């Protein structure tokens, strides 16, 4: 005899659906948001939404997985800062200010240069004013190229990683031996 699984139909009464049958829904499924339920029985999982708006899976070992971020990090967003004056970039603050378009947590940086170079950047962020050196968020783990064209790091030791939509961002070139253009990409969740 085929195993049968109960479901709730439109009228609110339980109806059994034989294993192997397709469940077709025309107008979507409405899930009320709940807190993490009790661990399900062996061989089963529970899928449910929580108040943060994400869907979760709870397996029979009690492991809860956010289905929107199964690897543990949300879909990343990126802030890109490029500079290419056509000659070797001098050290000092660049006269370009970005407004951060969304709130999040910085998780990684990527730095590339058209030229092999020694390049160190500082990132300044301020909530409402033009950022200055006192608004540095990078501590000692600054985006750096050392006799290279490409580098990236998720080691953000000492960084202030939380930014808010509307914050102002500015980049300072602290060291540059040869770069005539660079791109800094900041990854955020």
User: pLDDT digit string (tens) for 16-49?
Assistant: 666 666 667 777 777 889 999 999 998 888 898 8
What's the whole-model pTM score? 0.63
* 45/17 Cα distance (integer angstroms): 18
CATH classification of 77-188 is 2.60.120, yes or no?
yes
**Residues 62-119: tens digit of each pLDDT:** 888 877 765 555 568 899 999 998 899 999 988 889 999 888 889 999 999 999 999 9
Provide the 3-class DSSP secondary structure of residue 164. coil
Q: Please, are residues 131 and 168 in contact by the beta-carbon 8 Å criterion? A: yes
Q: Is pLDDT of 135 > 70?
A: yes
Asked if the model's pLDDT at residue 5 lies above 80, the reply is no
Mean pLDDT score of the chain, rounded to an integer? 86
Residue written as token pair 């953000």: 156
Angle in degrees, CA 71, 77, 78, rounded to 5: 130
Contacts of 85 (CB under 8 A, 6+ apart): 180, 181
**Is the distance from CB of 112 to CB of 179 less than 8 angstroms?**
no
Domain boundaries, the chain: 29-70, 77-188
Mean pLDDT of 169-184: 95
Query: Six-digit token pair at 16?
Result: 């059994």
């Amino acid at each position: 005899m085929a195993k049968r699984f109960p479901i709730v139909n439109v009228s609110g009464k339980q109806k059994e659906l034989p294993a192997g049958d397709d469940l077709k829904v025309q107008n979507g499924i409405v899930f009320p948001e709940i807190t993490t339920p009790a661990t399900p029985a062996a061989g089963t999982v529970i899928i449910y939404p929580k108040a943060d708006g994400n869907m979760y899976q709870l397996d029979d070992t009690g492991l809860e997985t956010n289905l929107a971020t199964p690897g543990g990090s949300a879909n990343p967003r990126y802030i890109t800062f490029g500079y290419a004056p056509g000659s070797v970039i001098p050290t000092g603050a660049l006269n370009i200010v970005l407004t951060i378009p969304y709130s999040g947590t910085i998780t990684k940086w990527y730095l590339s240069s058209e030229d092999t170079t020694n390049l160190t950047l500082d990132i300044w962020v301020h909530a409402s004013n033009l950022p200055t050196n006192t608004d540095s968020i990078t501590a000692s783990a600054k985006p750096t190229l050392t006799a290279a064209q490409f580098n990236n790091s998720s080691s953000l030791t000492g960084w202030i990683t939380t930014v808010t939509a509307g914050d102002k961002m500015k980049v300072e070139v602290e060291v540059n031996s040869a770069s005539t253009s660079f791109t800094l990409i900041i990854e955020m969740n």
